[in-house]
Amino acid sequence: MPLYFAAFLATLAASIVIYLAAVAALAIRRRPVPALLQEQGANRLQAVGVALLWSGVGMAWLLFFNVYRIHVDMHALGNEALQAFSRSYTSRLPVVVLPYGLTCLVWSLALWAAPARLSRRALWGIATLCMISILTTPFAAAAQGDMQEHGFTDASYMQLQAAHLARSLAFTLAALWTLVEGWRLPKPAP
């Protein structure tokens, strides 16, 4: 397994663990999760999260509408063309998966920060949408793996597109939430 992919899986695992720890803390304490990062740091963390989230939205829709549809075109040219495209695509995966994993990690960490520009409700909503997007990952990866091992099938392609559509929608909703929520709250004092 390539090092970048191990790092990607580690960020997803850490995101899930941190999110579930926040859920457990909330359930046990019946109070908001303790803020381990205060307002100034929380503001910076949220700014990084917003930037990553919006870049992820662009990447997600680019993959959904353009890149994944190339599988159909490559399949029409033959299995060799499809396999060449798949190898080329997977060799460039770090630019896609590492920012995605980091985005999910940042929003899980934001649950343990003071609500700065975004409310606690928004932080929970965005982190939950990131968790929903993570749930789609095994389905998309399985479809990619099937196409690399067995060639193109309509079923694998539809599974890939459905999983990625769910991820794209989750990220888009989260990004829109930051925009709507961010503009309603007053800017914090410097």
Write down the domain spans for the chain: 3-184
Dihedral angle at the C-alpha atoms of 9, 88, 77, 71, nearest 10 degrees? Answer: 30
Dihedral angle at the C-alpha atoms of 172, 174, 176, 180, nearest 10 degrees? Answer: 170
Q: Mean pLDDT, consecutive 10-residue segments, the chain of 190 residues?
A: 91 98 93 85 92 95 90 86 83 89 97 89 96 95 89 92 96 95 64
Q: Which two tokens stand for residue 88?
A: 């080329």
Determine contact, residues 117/43, Cβ cutoff 8 Å.
Answer: yes
Bridge partners, 37 (sequence order): 113
Residues in Cβ contact with 49 at an 8 Å cutoff, skipping those fewer than 6 apart: 103, 106, 107, 110, 126, 178
Q: What is the pLDDT of residue 187?
A: 61
Q: What is the DSSP letter of 68?
A: T
pTM score, two decimals? 0.89
Q: What is the pLDDT of residue 189?
A: 62
Q: What is the pLDDT of residue 151?
A: 85
Q: What is the pLDDT of residue 81?
A: 86
CATH number of this structure's domain 3-184, picked from the four choices 2.40.110.10, 2.120.10.30, 3.30.360.10, 1.20.1420.10? 1.20.1420.10
